[in-house]
Chains A and B, each alone.
Chain A
Amino acid sequence: MNNEQVKTLKNNAFKIWAIIATSIGLIMLAVLLIKIGMDGLHRLSFDFFTALPSRRPEQAGILTALVGTLWVMVTTAVFAIPIGIGAGIYLEEYARKGWWSSFLEINISNLAGVPSIIYGLLGLEIFVRTLHLGQSILSGSLTLSLLILPIVIVSTREAIKTVPSTMREASYALGASKWQTIWMQMLPAASGGIMTGIILALSRAIGETAPLIVVGALMYVPFVPKSVFDSFTVLPIQIYNWVSRPQAGFIINAAAAIIVLMLITILMNGAAVILRNRWQNRVKW
């Protein structure tokens, strides 16, 4: 075998390995989807969305969990978006490059990798106990905000970085202040990237279970939360609760709830992809 043939062989081997690896991933996902679809799809009805939890699986629904998830998502967004964007702007535009900004940068990247249960413990200590916010939506949302802040900060910075410096210069050259330049040029030009980051961050938060359990989300919530100070449950916790029940009916409920949760996540990720493509097409420097 000459050198050329070895090369081709290696090439083909690598290609086949890549195809197999990809196929395994796709097949697993497909099996999972089909299994869950077969189990849960028939359970999805209007009542399933509007019913409160119940001891009888046929009567139980996801209303409290769905509303809880919405509350938590909106509240998390309210905290994480302005703080995350603000911090991103500070680090990118105002922080002087030096040990302090490198220190912050490294820490923020590391925070993104901290296991989520640690955030749960932090939230429990700070929000539930120290600030006496109780086992409420507020505590849970603040905890999730901390969890996703690094993602929002990093994507804000990345999005601002992609705006060419010529635009900044053009703005300054017209007598604009730094603040006007950031607010009227940099942020709008970076908005696509920032929004993509926010959606991806929220779609991560929506699936989180561990930190919310630690903070004290309830397994069983027989009422719909009315304010951020109410106790709550969310979809993943509801699912967790149902799969741990012995009755077969609850397993079916869990599958149906998983379908709902997955649809929400897919929609959010889809929106992120569309936004990103739109943004990339629109902005050709």
Chain B
Amino acid sequence: MSNIKKTSTKRQSEIVSAESTTAINEKLLGKNPSKPMKKIEIKNVHCWYGDFHVLRDIEMAVDPNTVTALIGPSGCGKTTFLRIFNRMNDLIEGFRLEGEVMIDKKDIFSRELRVNELRKKVGMVFQKPNPFPKSIFENVAYGLRVNGITNKKIIAETVEHSLKQSALWGEVKDKLHKNALGLSGGQQQRLCIARAIAIEPSIILMDEPTSALDPISNSKIEELIYDLKQKYTILIVTHNMQQAARVSDRTAFFYLGDLVEFDETKTIFTNPKNEKTQNYITGRFG
């Protein structure tokens, strides 16, 4: 069952990579029955912090196994937008959301979906590396433990696998039981990625994951994002236009709570339709 699912996802991603052709076909042939299932779909979404209307009428659909970059000046609502999908905003007093948010065609606010189940499926990497003040091993194992996995062998294997996937294994395999706070910033951030993927989410949210890091760590993490795309759907907030251009398939430009433009990254950077987008990416403000 899961096998079939996997291959079909893979096939879908191939179709996705031929996005523009699909789009043309769709226009010519009308609704295409083999159209890939959207990983994320949100419609008419509004968010408030108290009276402050922070996101207005957002609509977006994200294909599986793609990287979507979220750009825009500070305070335009990128972080708020990102944190809709694992319902982290719900922890903030006074936060309110209206609209429809679907992941895998399921409403994430429905009563049947428990919020910890959702967060297992939607991992998150924060702006500042925030490992727990515990051992490297325990950092990665934590997600497994809180989700009820107790088998030591499975935990050890998953920790190793996750650290390999996040390209950190070689650097830490001899000090798994040392405190994670002893790692460099870049290593800590990759540890946070390992921690997120250990519980096998299908979506990873990244909020400016490299903004606190040096250039070498930055490029390591960008490479990693490229690899992770094979298995995960990634949403990444970034202030760095080159980063958005390098890692993402599609880019969304936010401005003062509006989703101004959402298109193929190439289009956004070479031929944006909106003047504000043009001004932002050419660095005229932001």
Contacts and interface: CB of A to CB of B under 8 A. Distances in A.
Given A169-B88, A169-B126, A284-B181, A174 B143 contact: yes
Contacts of A188: 133-134
Contact of A189 (B86, B117, B133, B199): B133
Nearest to B181: A284
B34 to A, nearest CB: 33
B192 A175 contact: no
A11 interface: no
Interface string B194-223: 011001000000000000000000000000
A190 to B, nearest CB: 11
B123 interface: yes
Interface residues of B, number: 28
A44 B181 CA distance: 48
Interface string B121-152: 00110101011111000000011011100000
Interface residues of A, number: 21
B41 to A, nearest CB: 22
A184 B130 contact: no
Contacts of A284: 181
The dominant DSSP class at the A interface is helix
Given A166-B126, A167-B130, A167-B132, A175 B120 contact: yes
B231 interface: no
B119 interface: yes
Interface string A55-77: 00000000000000000000000
B117 A175 contact: yes
B91 interface: yes
Interface string A170-186: 11111111001000110
Given A166-B128, A166-B130, A167-B132, A174 B192 contact: no
Interface of A: 97, 164, 166-167, 169-177, 180, 184-185, 188-189, 282-284
Given A167-B133, A173-B123, A173-B196, 13 more contacts: A169-B91, A170-B132, A171-B142, A171-B146, A174-B119, A175-B116, A175-B117, A175-B120, A180-B146, A184-B142, A184-B145, A189-B132, A282-B133
12 contacts: A166-B128, A170-B195, A173-B124, A173-B126, A174-B147, A175-B117, A176-B116, A176-B142, A177-B146, A184-B145, A184-B146, A284-B181
